[in-house]
Structure 1
Amino acid sequence: MSSGSAPRAISRRELLTLIGSVAGSAVSYQAMAGMGLVSESNYKGPIKLEGNPKGASVLILGAGLAGMVAAMELRNAGYKVQVLEYNNRAGGRNWSLRGGDTYTELGGFTQKCEFDPGLYLNPGPWRIPYHHHGVLDYCRRLGVALEPFVQVNYNAMVHSTQAFGGKPQRYREIQADYHGQIAELLAKVTQQKKLDELVSAEDQEILMASLRQWGALDKHYRYVPGRDSSERRGYEKPPAGGLSGKPVYSKDITGLSELLKSELWGSIGAGHGYEFQTTLFQPVGGMGRIGDAFKREVGDLIRYNAKVIKIHQDRKKVTVTYVDPKSGGAPQTATADYCLCTIPLSVLSQIELNVNPKMQAAINAVPYEASVKVGLQFKRRFWEQDEHIYGGISYTNLPIRLIGYPNTDYHSAGKGVLLGAYVFGPNAYEFTALPPAERVRKAYEYGAMIHPQYQQEFETGIAVGWHRVPWTLGCAGAWTEASRAQHYDNLCQLDNRFLVAGEHASYIPAWQEGAILSSLDAIQRLHQHVVNR
């Protein structure tokens, strides 16, 4: 481009692609949130379905959270409810794999989880933001115990194969050095009067004080080795007691140019996004405890091992044809006045269904994200014992993208399970194409580049590639601005006696909150239709 040319404006799509390639899916997601492409929860409290349902019946397809929320609330309101579920368990993507569990994916690969008792992997959701009020309220109402989920751990690692000779760096050191030198740079610009047109003299004085505090600068507004910087990035020798207690300040500050080229600044912002801000939660004992709690409420309404193969509606009823996905046998039918379908669109688009053309086009329009999770069990909790990492996440540019540390059972003398990979994008397609054992091996090999202890401590693993999960065929609905504008409202409308719910029918995609709010919105609209007839 010539010096006289105007710079080309970067599109939203290009910006999100750039952010995702540099900083990973979590940061890309928070960028989407900042652009208004995702929304926060608007949950206002328990739903009130007032009015006489007149003996109406509802057939719910899918016993994930959206389906079981609907089953619970509709039954409480006086509806006749039945639920068809593909699996032999409730919960859908709200799922924890434990020792003794088996799972068969498309292609026939069957894995048996060999984790020790009490250990688990959450193949789907693994955290609940504090502002996902719907999920949290149902946990409260159903007695699901919660504990903190550590999103940001300053003692965890950030890693790039292209920086620092491939050696992992402590999160706190990279963050302190980056913030400190950005603060120093801005302080210099302010002192040189280059902000006079933008910031008043009074505000510049306040700005300088804030930069000194935020960046741990010395009295000359420099980020240098010493007490201030060591209290952010850590000490060469921490303060102690007695004659040997004098601290030694950190000397190895990384220069700004090296920090910028390392691109590790992309990882230290992961916890700033709205969805990842403190406090986050997880159910005690695994995310699947939420599905278990709903099952206690509505399990008697669920018919398991029911694979839907046809949905037909007329002016009076909806008839659903289903088969046993394992044993086959003669098709069976279930009938109700209305049908609420929470089947993922990736599967629903392949089921015979008579709805209006606009709804069918919407169902067909939404592809699903690729994602892979790998759980690795180790003989001991070396990340705590050797490196003092208690919960949180380490980030890397390796295909595994991150390593998640357990947020429970700290200081346990027993074994532990790491989330050894959480993969999105092109790497997820590559991982999904591998047999499960190869996915585990890859997660082991890449992880050993960050934690060499893998080589001595690894025992067993299990891997879930979501495009090979037969009842979802993907991780979550992947709307674009254009597809949402064209199809979203058509997807969510009540079509005669049929309507949909799930995370794919929400502005909070890929989150349990989206599934719950979508369900509540759908059954409220359905109820108004019934009582006003």
Structure 2
Amino acid sequence: MDPGRQAPTRRQLLNAIGLMGGTAAVYQLMTTFGHAAETRFPGPPDLSGSRKGQSVIVLGAGLAGMLAAYELDKAGYRVRILEFQDRAGGRNWSLRGGDRYTELGGPTQNVAFAKGNYFNPGPWRIPHHHRTLLYYCKKFGVALEPFIQFNHNAYVHSTDAFGGAPQRFRALAADFEGNVAELLGKAIDQKALDTRLTPEDLDLLREALRGWGMLDRDMRYVKGDRSSSHRGFLLPPGGGVNGTPKPSDLFAFDEVLKSRVWANMAFFMNDEFQTTMFQPVGGMDMIGKGFARQVGRLITYNAKVTRLMQGAGGVTVTYADAKSGKVGTAEADFCVCTIPLTVLSQIETNLSEKKQAAIQAVPYSPGVKVALEMRRRFWEEDYAIYGGHSFTNQEIGLVSYPNDRLLSDGPAVLLGAFANGPGGLHLGGMTPDERIEAALEQGSVFHPDSYRKEFLSGASVSWSRVPWAMGCCARWNEDTRREHYQSLVSLEDRVVLAGEHASYVGCWMEGSLLSAIDAITRLHKRAQEA
């Protein structure tokens, strides 16, 4: 080592490994360095000292609204919730056999799933570090079970690689890691890396690459027992005299690169998608039902808010009964508004120009989900896939396999599409039947012998056509956050907004709950000062 040169900084090392090993390697080091953080949960809010008789009206009985109402009610405030739908939970929603759903400008879908089967159009998994949601699920008696996020035995498909044939994730990931490890090992030997790494660091890096990439003694990634122990054997180890395994052939590295498997590897290292993950037993709406058990007595259902006005004396909300059309008003000292921005932007208010500009500034994603009920669990019985996702570069995005009642008999529902971006826009413009057909056609690439043959029924939700949300979730960018975020979340006189759109944990239930705690904590302080 050149004694005149300094050792690399952590940032330089992260950048170098990121270029060579991808997001997964960077995140592993970030965790070691203590840079990767969990979401914040300060614990239940302290709303002690509330003044007797003060009132709050909450707009929306999603999770943010119900948590706000629960904590405010517990603290002694008089609380009322106005909810547009005839149920609580908002985007925390499940469709089951016998349900009917009509989207904007579309036909009514009559869900025909077998008893016990369900489809989660909105949230469908809970990261292990979303402590706020986990805390209240436990407190409200919502049973959870593991959600299998990462499945090595699922597939990755790209129309640009392997002639369009899907490959098992484990084999692609192993070959990507092995080849990258070999290339990086050669770079060490050729002194192509930053020479500020000490000789001891280089020796440790060689050792790490040999173990991570399953390289042989000569630092080569080759066909053999070591590589097959990651990517899978051609003939797995057996018992007795014929138990000797046979190693599998390696993929050509150029095809591995064309598959873009690194994007799927990085997906599983995203902070929000790391194991362990959870789901409610029996469907995602069990969370909404658990919250509603605490505050159901406070909810007025079928209340479509049309006007929100605040003044020196309080807040007045005008609403119409969604069934009868009868108009009513509700008054309170303060208001917590959790209505999605796409809908709130169409409601008459006297909020400040800055807050109205913020409400108008945030677009919502056009997510589309398609559920397919199959006659049997052929992905388990024929392909040994238990939970997890198979990824494709087609519009459907992925196929996700159910995590409940594994190894059981009878019909089961898999997620046949989770489309966003251009795919979400295109599928969203289709009829429900057309979306199901697209999901069957594109998903058949993974299971050509079973997909159509085992199909029973389907259902789909295009979030841009959901009447009470008009979009999946808020999509901030750096510019809009810089210009509008603080204006959106500020407590303005007597009104404060809450929901996933009012957080940095956007598109997650955790963000909704964290924003609700923050909003009512500030509102409580204002109420004490009033």
Query: What does residue 416 of structure 1 align with?
Result: 412
Is 2:90 aligned against 1:107? no
CA distance, structure 1, for counterparts of residue 194 and residue 297 of structure 2? 70
- Deviation of 1:98 after TM superposition, in Å, equals 0.9
Query: What does residue 436 of structure 2 align with?
Result: 440
CA distance, structure 2, for counterparts of residue 89 and residue 387 of structure 1? 39
**How big is each residue's C-alpha offset from its partner over 1:229-281, in whole Å with a ceiling of 9 and x where there is no partner?**
0100010110111122111111x201222211232332222101111111111
Query: What does residue 235 of structure 2 align with?
Result: 237
Aligned partner (choices 236, 252, 257) of residue 254 of structure 2: 257
- Deviation of 1:196 after TM superposition, in Å, equals 6.3
CA distance, structure 1, for counterparts of residue 462 and residue 508 of structure 2? 18
**How big is each residue's C-alpha offset from its partner over 1:336-384, in whole Å with a ceiling of 9 and x where there is no partner?**
1111100000000000001111111111111111100011000000000
Matches within 5 A, 1:233-312: 233-250=231-248, 252-312=249-309
Aligned residue type for 1:369: S
Aligned partner (choices 312, 333, 339) of residue 335 of structure 2: 339
- Identity rate of aligned residues, in percent? 53
- SS at the partner of 2:325? strand
TM-score (normalizing by structure 2) = 0.92
CA distance, structure 1, for counterparts of residue 277 and residue 317 of structure 2? 39
**How big is each residue's C-alpha offset from its partner over 1:287-342, in whole Å with a ceiling of 9 and x where there is no partner?**
111000011111111111111111112111211111123x3423111111111100
Aligned partner (choices 353, 362, 385) of residue 357 of structure 1: 353
Task: Answer yes or no: is the 8 Å Cα contact 1:59–1:82 preserved in 2.
Answer: yes
Aligned residue type for 1:329: G
Aligned partner (choices 320, 324, 333) of residue 323 of structure 1: 320
CA distance, structure 1, for counterparts of residue 484 and residue 263 of structure 2? 33
Matches within 5 A, 1:385-396: 385-396=381-392
Moved more, 198-207 or 460-469: 198-207
Task: Answer yes or no: is the 8 Å Cα contact 1:53–1:531 preserved in 2.
Answer: yes
- Deviation of 1:40 after TM superposition, in Å, equals 4.4
CA distance, structure 1, for counterparts of residue 515 and residue 485 of structure 2? 12
* Structure 2: gaps of 5 or more residues: 1-21
| Moved >6 Å (runs of 4+) | none
Aligned residue type for 1:337: D
- Deviation of 1:162 after TM superposition, in Å, equals 1.6
CA distance, structure 1, for counterparts of residue 240 and residue 54 of structure 2? 77
- Deviation of 1:415 after TM superposition, in Å, equals 1.2
- SS at the partner of 2:265? coil
Query: What does residue 40 of structure 2 align with?
Result: 42
Is 2:367 aligned against 1:371? yes
Query: What does residue 380 of structure 2 align with?
Result: 384
Is 2:481 aligned against 1:484? yes
Query: What does residue 504 of structure 1 align with?
Result: 501
CA distance, structure 2, for counterparts of residue 520 and residue 462 of structure 1? 35
Matches within 5 A, 1:138-287: 138-195=136-193, 197-250=195-248, 252-287=249-284
CA distance, structure 2, for counterparts of residue 269 and residue 366 of structure 1? 27
CA distance, structure 2, for counterparts of residue 385 and residue 198 of structure 1? 53
Query: What does residue 4 of structure 2 align with?
Result: none
CA distance, structure 1, for counterparts of residue 477 and residue 354 of structure 2? 17
Moved more, 187-196 or 460-469: 187-196
CA distance, structure 2, for counterparts of residue 330 and residue 122 of structure 1? 32
Aligned residue type for 1:485: R
Aligned residue type for 1:90: A
* Structure 1: gaps of 5 or more residues: 1-22
CA distance, structure 2, for counterparts of residue 86 and residue 105 of structure 1? 15
CA distance, structure 2, for counterparts of residue 432 and residue 49 of structure 1? 43
Query: What does residue 15 of structure 2 align with?
Result: none
Aligned residue type for 1:424: N
- SS at the partner of 2:399? strand
Is 2:512 aligned against 1:515? yes
Task: Answer yes or no: is the 8 Å Cα contact 1:508–1:514 preserved in 2.
Answer: yes
What is the total number of aligned residue pairs between the two structures?
500
CA distance, structure 1, for counterparts of residue 440 and residue 194 of structure 2? 54
- SS at the partner of 2:146? strand
Moved more, 411-420 or 195-204: 195-204
CA distance, structure 2, for counterparts of residue 524 and residue 229 of structure 1? 55
- SS at the partner of 1:268? helix
Query: What does residue 447 of structure 2 align with?
Result: 451
